[in-house]
Structure 1
């Protein structure tokens, strides 16, 4: 009876110890906590890197927008200036009108090239956003497990919780909604419409 009473206090003391102290005294829990904290740090580093990549791609897209409008504005101004300063004879006007396909073709090819670049960069941005969302979900799952481990201490079931974490990652299915018109599609359509308008203005300037 006396021996039972002597063993009860250490047991009660072990149960009432702080979970972090319990983890520090348990090699497996301690190692797992260190591993998860290191993995969480790596995920946060990847999140920061993805965010900087997205910002860089968005700046490049903005530069393409600016270049598109500057290119066509300068081209139209130069054509208008050349048309105004040229001799007003009917022969030269007819010759310029016949050669209007040259600047029109250049403008069309340049427009298509810029539109393709914008579309490509937009797809890269979308892909990076999906990767960023996935990394944030991983960080959220891992943070939840770390908090549970710190809260439960040695009562944390390693096999069950680690298996649940792996299952949550493996069963995570990326949602693929039905393809609809997005802002990127409207931007592409807008740029194509502007390109057609520029072609019409080139024809009007050279053949007027």
Structure 2
């Protein structure tokens, strides 16, 4: 009878120990090292959130600039074709064909400049998206450590967990997928094709 009552007594003792143990947040407040680490991590979380918001706003601004370059490209060529057509209609037939190389070169140089600007801005957008993804990954790792610290209290192994966080940041390898073609390449090819088409239309308008 005595041996059968021992398991129940052990369970009651373990339950009472768990109930008498202070809350993990109270344990952290009583431990200077854990309290300081929690404050540092919470402050770093705020900094990461601020950097994420800043990079998102910067990416939005870059995308607006790319849209403006798209609009300027088509507006420039459409306006130039209309002006060339109106000028050629007032001149004798074939008169403007001798000077067609001048607007053709201007159109070509402007097209190449806009294409280069679009390519540069899209590269900047891709680079900033990678930085944003890295900041989000750092935020997730830090949030996980903060949750573990609040959950375990003084049982949280500072050396082990902090070292694991540092290793996770240092050993993080960006996944690079080798692609022969990307969306930026197709955009560049499209604008180059449109530029060639505009050159042909310029020749047709001035010579016919």
Shift in CA distance, 68/184, structure 1 to aligned 2, threshold 3 Å: same
Report the counterpart of residue 105 of structure 2 in structure 1: 105
Which residue of the partner structure matches residue 145 of structure 1? 145
Query: Quick one: distance in 2 between partners of 1:62 and 1:75?
Result: 20
User: What CA distance in whole angstroms lies between the structure 2 residues aligned with 1:190 and 1:67?
Assistant: 15
Aligned match of 1:22: 27
What is the distance in 2 between the residues matched to 1:147 and 1:15?
Answer: 22
Q: Mind listing any 5+ residue stretches in structure 2 that lack a counterpart?
A: 1-12
Provide the alpha-carbon RMSD of the alignment.
Answer: 1.6
Alpha-carbon shift at residue 12 of structure 1 (Å): 3.9
Q: Distance in 2 between matches of 1:180 and 1:161?
A: 41
**Other-structure match for 1:194:** 194
Within 5 A, what are the aligned runs for 1:2-13? Answer: 12=17
**Pair 1:64-2:73 in alignment:** no
Listed as ranges, the gaps of 5+ residues in structure 1 are: 1-7
Instruction: Give the Cα separation in 2 of the matches to 1:14 and 1:130.
Output: 47
- Which runs of at least 4 in structure 1 moved beyond 2 Å after TM superposition? 11-15
Deviation at residue 45 of structure 1 after TM alignment = 0.2
SS in 2 for 1:195: helix
Q: 1:87: how far off? A: 3.0
The size of the alignment, in residue pairs, is 194
Q: How does 1:160-179 map to 2 (within 5 A)?
A: 160-179=160-179
Question: Which whole-Å deviations, capped at 9, do the CAs of 1:59-84 have from their partners, x for residues lacking one?
Answer: 00000000000000000000000111
